[in-house]
Amino acid sequence: MNIDISEYYTTEEWEKFKSAADKYETPFLLVNTDIVERNYKDLQTFFPYAKTYYAVKANPDKEVLNKLNNLGSNFDIASIYELDKVLAIGVKPERLSYGNTIKKPNHIEYAYNKGVRLFATDSEMDLRNIAKTAPGSKIFCRILTEGAETADWPLSRKFGCQPDMSIDLLILAKKLGLVPYGVSFHVGSQQRDIGTWDSAIAKVKYIYDWMSSNEDVRLKMINMGGGLPAPYLSKTNDLQIYADEITRYLHDDFGDELPEVILEPGRSMVGNCGILVSEIVLISRKSRTALDRWVYLDVGKFNGLIETLEECIKYPLYCEKKGVCEESVIAGPTCDSQDVMYEYAQYSLPLSLAVGDRIYWLTTGAYTSSYCSVEFNGFPPLKTYHV
């Protein structure tokens, strides 16, 4: 395996991870919140006009939330449980957006009673629930967009509605005494095609124009969701290039006076703040002459690496041994046959690897610890330590 650490971390960051890693028994996630701070500041530099609502689900670690809170970030929450978590560290409800379009009426009411006034929706039933339990709140409607083919972790058709239906919903919101406030989209997570923002923004513009000319409603906000990349194996453009392009699309459609622009980064904010440290449990072949070697680790799909489903996210792997490499199947420790991370992705690992050697999974700060099972096969959830 020949990844170059310096493409992912500075020498100082890597040394810090390494010396902390030596203190613990695997598997565990190491998080450096200084990297979160850098990502936050980069985002502010490149999108100076936008407000950041960190998508808590990507990594709800308390130190990550504290760091972002101290930096002045806003937060996008997906449930009342995330709500409680951010309120507990002192985030004011004015800085929250309830971005999940799927929610129970009593959860909407709970959030409203805690002071949340900004809600996403994409269906009439949810909208009516919001009108009943969170009267007078600001509503933004999530639209469907293209981009599933070029996102490494696409969000499919589960969320959002057609632009025409979003118009119906925003009109209904007004009738129900809510504030039709804006439009949101998410082009798919780890989106490699920047052009997907262009067509999404054009759809938003169409909705804006329609609402102002036919309903005399001036929408105020465009929520561009997540989708910005973290550094995995497959290369993406730099954040600055994303920002320059997306900013250009916004001005092309909205002119000089942009509406309030919201970004909801998850992966790009915390992806590279963490590395997952694992150890080899077993190395085997399936026959005397088998060409492929199976390398089993103490971490797998069920304790942090769920995004290797269909080998969608290809994490950069690092081990200290060098020398002749061989393509290897990389699998987890549980007795579920789905617990194979990479069979087709052609990861090659040194032939000299031995049981007990460590494998470092880089860029694992997002969607790992929050996604792991509670005790499948008795394995405990992934621990997080800070450096």
Ligand X SMILES: *Cc1c(COP(=O)(O)O)cnc(C)c1O
Q: Which is nearer to ligand X, 137 or 189 (CB)?
A: 189
Pick from 26, 189, 303, 334 the residue near ligand X by CB under 6 A: 189
Q: What is the DSSP letter of 381?
A: P
Report the first-to-last Cα separation within the chain, whole angstroms. 26
Q: Which is nearer to ligand X, 267 or 358 (CB)?
A: 267
Q: Does 18 bind ligand X (CB under 6 A)?
A: no
# of chain residues touching ligand X (CB under 6 A): 16
Q: Does 268 bind ligand X (CB under 6 A)?
A: yes
Q: Are 231 and 7 in contact (CB under 8 A)?
A: yes
Q: Does 267 bind ligand X (CB under 6 A)?
A: yes
Token reading at 273: 């703040």
The whole-angstrom separation of Cα 277 and Cα 364 is 10
Pick from 30, 31, 58, 131 the residue near ligand X by CB under 6 A: 58
Q: Which is nearer to ligand X, 280 or 362 (CB)?
A: 362
Cβ at position 172, least distance to ligand X in Å: 21
Q: Cis peptide leading into 60, omega within 30 of 0?
A: no
Q: Does 265 bind ligand X (CB under 6 A)?
A: yes
Q: Does 152 bind ligand X (CB under 6 A)?
A: no
The whole-angstrom separation of Cα 317 and Cα 144 is 34
Pick from 60, 180, 225, 316 the residue near ligand X by CB under 6 A: 225
With CA atoms as reference, report the closest residue to 207 among 110, 117, 298, 141.
141
Q: Which is nearer to ligand X, 280 or 372 (CB)?
A: 372
Token reading at 223: 């929520």
Kindly identify the residues of this chain, within the stretch 70-129, that bind ligand X according to CB under 6 A.
76, 99
Q: Does 59 bind ligand X (CB under 6 A)?
A: no
The full DSSP string for 243-268 is HHHHHHHHHHHH-SS--EEEE--SHH
Q: What is the DSSP letter of 152?
A: E
The interface region with ligand X, picked from 3-11, 42-50, 53-61, 287-295 by CB under 6 A, is 53-61
The full DSSP string for 91-115 is --GGGEEE--S---HHHHHHHHHTT
Binding residues vs ligand X (CB under 6 A): 55, 57-58, 76, 99, 186, 189, 225-228, 264-268
